[in-house]
Amino acid sequence: MSKKTFNPIRAIVDSMRVEPNPKKPMISLSIGDPTVFRNLPTDDEVTRAVKEALDSGRYNGYAPSVGYQSCREVVAASYSCPEAPLKAQDVILTSGCSQAIELALAVLANPGQNILVPRPGFSLYKTLALSLGIEVKFYNLLPEKSWEIDLKHLESLVDEKTACLIVNNPSNPCGSVFSKSHLQKILAVASRQCIPILADEIYGDMVFADWKYEPIAALSTSVPILSCGGLAKRWLVPGWRMGWILVHDRRDIFGNEIRDGLLRLSQRILGPCTLVQGALEHIMRHTPAEFYHNTLSFLKANADLCYTALCAVPGLRPIRPAGAMYLMCDRV
Ligand SMILES: *Cc1c(COP(=O)(O)O)cnc(C)c1O
């Protein structure tokens, strides 16, 4: 398994020994970690919640492998909407969104099956899939359509071994946000081809003013969806390693097989950190709205700055981001 495991980002970042030019301040653009420059701190309420959890002495032990019931309830309540209701039993807490994606892939696909993955896209999907013996097929995103999915190309890749479709919205590394109608077209492909969706929605709600984020599960009653998320990006604490899977399966297509499978996989190692679970309810309920708002204004101002600067670079065509923390260029 180790020989099948290669994470291109960590391989670069963990072994990077760059001698900076002493005459120039270095701006490292190599990794999506909002804490590196200390200019995007989390909110005081968030840190206070963890301090209180620590001082209480109640969160030093083992929690259930899928997380405390009260935490699952609070996550369910936070992400529930009338079109896609969630209960505590639909939530599995994990060690970051990465473990959520790993469990979701492992439960949806058998070795030898394949998954459909965006290009350009987040490299972890391929890393995890290959180490699990799952094949990866890349579908194209279209720069001229603000990185929407090339739906024809997507559908042409489906075969009898296709086990799931990964949709990452808002996107790393494109900074794109899919419209409702585009998401509906993606769902139509999944429905027609009978493939479940693994939705990587770690940047959910991180969209700039004038754009709207739609959780994909809210737009379908039939396609079964595992939505993966976490605290890392919206609350700016990737090191705290808290993520979740939201199981959306209103037609009971996954049935018990997927839910029991996720439970068993969660029991391999205890993923979700108990201490952060102790803070989760406070974080979800009491992070002030201005914090989210200020983070997004800051990200938007920086996105605009990068966009304008990159427009002046011959050979590059930046696509203006609509959310998340990234900007992707096309070639001219
Ligand atoms: C950062 C990121 C993740 C991983 O999140 P963690 O909670 O740090 O594991 C997953 N998907 C995308 C698209 C990301 O950018």
Instruction: Indicate if the pLDDT at residue 5 is higher than 80.
Output: yes
Ligand 1 atom nearest to CA at 99: 9
User: Poorest-confidence range of 20-24, 132-136, 151-155?
Assistant: 20-24
Quick check: 249 and 85 in contact, CB under 8 A?
no
For the chain, what percent of residues have pLDDT higher than 90? 88
Q: Could you tell me the CA-to-CA distances from 182 to 60, 187, 188, 200, 329 in Å, in that order?
A: 45, 9, 10, 16, 21
The CATH number of the structural domain formed by 46-286 is 3.40.640.10
Please list every protein residue whose CB sits less than 6 Å from any atom of ligand 1: 32, 96-98, 122, 168, 172, 200, 202, 230, 232-233, 238, 243
User: Poorest-confidence range of 2-6, 192-196, 198-202, 235-239?
Assistant: 2-6
Structure tokens at 243: 């993520």
Query: What is the Å distance from ligand 1's center to 213 Cα?
Result: 17
Query: What is the Å distance from ligand 1's center to 242 Cα?
Result: 10
Confidence of residue 326 (pLDDT cuts 50, 70, 90): very high
Indicate the pTM of the whole model. 0.95
Quick check: 201 and 169 in contact, CB under 8 A?
yes
User: Could you tell me where the beta strands, DSSP code E, fall in the chain?
Assistant: 91-94, 114-119, 135-142, 148-149, 162-168, 197-200, 225-230, 243-248, 316-319, 328-331
Query: What is the Å distance from ligand 1's center to 264 Cα?
Result: 23
> Could you report the per-residue pLDDT of 288-305, keeping only the tens digit for each?
999 999 999 999 999 999
Angle among Cα 132, 198, 274 to the nearest 5 degrees reads 80
Identify the pLDDT of residue 48. 98
Mean of per-residue pLDDT scores for the chain:
95
Ligand 1 atom nearest to CA at 122: 13
Check residue 84 and report its DSSP letter: B
The b-or-e profile of 100-123 (16+ CB within 10 A means b, else e) is bbbbbbbbbbeeebbbbbbebbbb
Ligand 1 atom nearest to CA at 101: 10
Distance of alpha carbon 42 from alpha carbon 143, whole angstroms: 32
Instruction: Mark residue 179 as left, alpha or beta (left: phi above 0; alpha: psi -120 to 50; beta: remaining).
Output: beta
For the chain, what percent of residues have pLDDT higher than 70? 99
Distance of alpha carbon 318 from alpha carbon 312, whole angstroms: 10
Quickly tell me which residue has 């940047």 as its tokens.
203
Average pLDDT of the residues in 122-131: 96
Q: Atom 5 of ligand 1 has which residue's CA nearest to it?
A: 97
Identify the pLDDT of residue 30. 64
Average pLDDT of the residues in 176-184: 98
Query: What is the Å distance from ligand 1's center to 326 Cα?
Result: 13
Structure tokens at 223: 């396609």
Instruction: Kindly list the domain boundaries of the chain, sorted by start residue.
Output: 46-286
**Strand 114-119 to 328-331 pairing:** unpaired
Q: Atom 13 of ligand 1 has which residue's CA nearest to it?
A: 172
Ligand 1 atom nearest to CA at 168: 13
Identify the pLDDT of residue 318. 98
**Strand 114-119 to 162-168 pairing:** parallel
